[in-house]
Amino acid sequence: MTSFANTLSLAIASATLAAVLALSGSPAYARGAKEVFIQDYQFAKPMHGYSGYSSNYYCDYQRLPNRKCFRNANGTETCKVVSWTLREMCQ
């Protein structure tokens, strides 16, 4: 009988914990952590990067070159920057 009572109490505790986690979302959200946002923007010319606070989020903007590579007749590879990506990451 004791084994059945222990199993039943463990099942009830597990169900309660699952219900609490389902209602509160992720454990990080329950601790007050913010979401991470990542967005890419395409530009023909490089834009200025930035790192710092924007409202309640810390944002970092990175300039990333988009290269197009060609192989010439000698077999050597030449790369050229054709556009730029500005990656926004906020948390």
CB burial readout 5-42, b (16+ within 10 A) else e: eeeeeeeeeeeeeeeeeeeeeeeeeeeeeeeeeeeeee
Report the length, in residues, of the chain. Answer: 91
- What pTM did the predictor assign? 0.55
Would you state the pLDDT for residue 27? 54
Residue with the bigger pLDDT between 88 and 11: it is 88
Residue-wise pLDDT tens digits, 6-56 = 333 433 434 443 444 444 455 555 566 778 889 999 999 988 877 888 788
Where do the domains of the chain lie? Answer: 1-32, 34-91
In this structure, the number of other CB atoms found within 10 A of the CB of residue 67 comes to: 10
